[in-house]
Chains A and B, each alone.
Chain A
Amino acid sequence: MNEPLVHVRDLHVRFVSRDATVHAVNGVSFDLAERESLCILGESGSGKSVTLRALMALNPPRRTKLSGTVRVGGHDIIAASERKMADIRGSTVSMIFQEPMTALDPVFTIGRQIAETVMRHEDVSRAAAEARALELLELVQIPSAKRRLAAYPHELSGGLRQRAMIAIALSCRPKLLLADEPTTALDATVQIQILLLLRRLQQEMGMGVIFVTHDLGVAGEIADRVAVMYAGKFIEEGPVRGLMRNPLHPYAQGLLGATVHAGMRGERLTTIPGAPPNLERVPQGCAFAPRCPHMREECLPKVPDSRSPVPGHAARCVLVPDAMSQAA
């Protein structure tokens, strides 16, 4: 099969309400190969979570307007009926969330919540589904797994809850795992455990993974590729090493400079002045231009094309030299 696991072209997501239309995602295109891990990095309101949810049509159904192309594992997500989507969700693609306390149903046991996912997608008996639930809890390294099957979410610690959430997501061996800030709500010593677990499971199960995070450290720990999102667009995309060491876009440079690293004591932090644009109107030209220290006249009339100075690393900025255009 030549088609990549995820194929997104010119994705637009708008939220329409009586008062306003919010243009949350404004033309996102990317591919994800099987077994690859992509990290979408951005600040609040950048559209990173909305993009992630669009991959399984999980944004609020009646307010959301999607356009463009989204193909996941060969399925056309935008054209799929809700019924067809329900078959795809949980089997081909599944998702874990930031806050495992609220993402799990408080009145059903962990075992039941895993088993019902298995039974929904596979023609197995309840006993077989429960046996699978136990295996899954062991897979995500929950101690005394047998006892935890009968536990309710509030009886588990934060780290165990997130492991249970992962067990649910992996219960039908999805080809693609989506993770929305999966470690943000966890303690530091637990966060690294979950990151390492996800990395190991990705390799063992051969999944594609898309992470959404605001934390550069998470990207550095788990991603093959990183995309930086701003005002509903990927403004830069590249391999994790290249992007973290040599960011091309002024916004990505600002974000890395503004993040407190180890050993920055005594230095003054670089900041990005101003605030992100209001997305009730589609930004004309480069959305970052009003905050950019290198703004030029050519930034304003139209959105800069993606330019790629080295293979696989590209940014939407007029300052970036485009070495690849001759090759293309």
Chain B
Amino acid sequence: MFFYLIRRILYAIPIALAVGLVCFMLVQIAPGDPINAIVPADAPAEVVEQVRRDYGLDKPLPVQFALWLGRVVQGDLGRSLATGRPVTADLRSAVGNTLMLALVAAFIGFAMGSILGTIAAVFRGSVLDKLAVGLAAAGVSIPHYWLGMVLVVFFSVTLNWLPAMGAGPGGSGAWEWNWANMQFLVLPAVTLSVIPMGIVTRTVRGVVMELLAQDFVTTLRGKGLRRGGIALHVLKNAASSVLAVMGLQLGYLMGGSILVETVFSWPGTGFLLNSAIFQRDLPVLQGTILVLAIFFVVLNLAVDLVQTALDPRIRRA
């Protein structure tokens, strides 16, 4: 198991490097000379040359990549072109906000999905099953920015129960776990949870249904186990494939909330990305994508390891 762990971590390194390379190349591929984003268009040639040397842009690409990578490893992602603040500082608070939103949305989506999926599988073909399948289909097919706006209209504008936007009274920096702050989380988290809810419902329903038809469930009934005992077995069998889907969904939640964060003005990575795109703020864009991608890699690694621990049939050599 230990060697398996080491090997899996070693596997992740080339993937992380490749991710870094893609992020680095973003700047190179973006139309125009990156220098034009830094210096004013009418700057004299010698100033341009000076800046080019300062930024190391006169060196060959591989060298530039190595230098960039060296800085990234030390936590230096450069400075924002728009604000001049270090990208790392902006990112830290944005990632924290997004992570909080993603985790709460994932909790809601995964819990709802697991319950709905299990009910649907156990009562296969019944009204409850049809209801769960319908909810799942709605979850994955309703565009969530639209759902977000509908929720805002209903709960904020009409009922005036919940705030429509922002991250709380203290802004993005000062979060506390009290209702004054948490009420800001409710609408975006619910909005964001419907897709994972739908997908997890479908997955759990399929996996549990397949498991309930397996011979070993008959054996468990034949041993005299009650529903609870059988559920434990089915749960452990279902865990590895359901977790794989959940891990992927959590990854999407981290990166895929641009629209929702924009709708609710939630100061997370999506919001940051959105503004960076419109302001052509390449260092911010680069840094955010890199962090999200690395997060995805780590998440996949974690899912893999948990799966291996749960299912003895996966070889742990």
Contacts and interface: CB of A to CB of B under 8 A. Distances in A.
A105 B224 contact: no
B233 A120 contact: no
B312 A105 contact: no
Interface in A24-57: 56
A168 B233 contact: no
A154 B312 contact: yes
Contacts of B237: 105-107
Contacts of B4: none
Interface stretch (B82-90, B112-120, B213-221, B263-271): B213-221
A103 B224 contact: no
A108 B220 CA distance: 12
A114 to B, nearest CB: 9
A120 B229 contact: yes
A102 B221 contact: no
Nearest to A90: B224
Nearest to A88: B224
A89 B224 contact: yes
A108 B214 CA distance: 15
A107 B312 contact: yes
A99 B225 contact: no
Nearest to B211: A105
Nearest to A171: B223
A229 B229 CA distance: 35
A107 B224 contact: no
B229 A106 contact: no
Which among B225, B310, B312 has the highest number of chain A CB atoms within 10 Å?
B312
B312 A90 contact: no
Given A102-B215, A106-B216, A86 B225 contact: yes
B257 to A, nearest CB: 34
Interface string A85-107: 01111110011010100111111
A89 B225 CA distance: 8
Given A106-B237, A107-B237, A89 B313 contact: no
Contacts of B218: 58, 97, 103
A83 interface: yes
Interface string B222-235: 11111001000100
Given A58-B221, A88-B224, A94-B223, A103 B216 contact: yes
Interface residues of A, number: 30
B238 to A, nearest CB: 10
B215 A108 contact: no
A28 to B, nearest CB: 20
Contacts of B310: 107
A82 B247 CA distance: 38
A224 interface: no
A152 interface: yes
A116 interface: yes
B215 A106 contact: no
Given A116-B229, A120-B229, A105 B311 contact: no
A87 B229 CA distance: 13
B216 A83 contact: no
Interface string B288-317: 000000000000000000000011110000
Given A97-B219, A103-B219, A105-B237, A154 B224 contact: no
B215 A87 contact: no
Interface in B45-79: none
Nearest to A154: B313
Contact of B214 (A88, A102, A154): A102
A99 B215 contact: yes
Which among B219, B221, B226, B310 has the highest number of chain A CB atoms within 10 Å?
B219
A83 B224 CA distance: 9
A58 B229 CA distance: 16
A108 B233 contact: yes
B317 to A, nearest CB: 14
Which among A88, A102, A107, A155 has the highest number of chain B CB atoms within 10 Å?
A107
Given A103-B218, A168-B219, A87 B224 contact: yes
A117 interface: yes
Interface in B104-155: none
A121 interface: yes
A121 B226 CA distance: 11
Contacts of B229: 116, 120
A252 to B, nearest CB: 30
Nearest to B219: A103
Nearest to A99: B215
Contacts of B215: 97, 99, 102-103
Which among A87, A106, A165 has the highest number of chain B CB atoms within 10 Å?
A106
The 9 closest A-B pairs by CB, nearest first: A90-B224, A89-B224, A102-B215, A90-B223, A152-B312, A117-B223, A103-B215, A95-B222, A105-B216
14 contacts: A58-B221, A58-B222, A88-B224, A89-B224, A90-B224, A95-B219, A106-B313, A107-B311, A116-B223, A120-B224, A120-B229, A152-B313, A154-B313, A169-B222
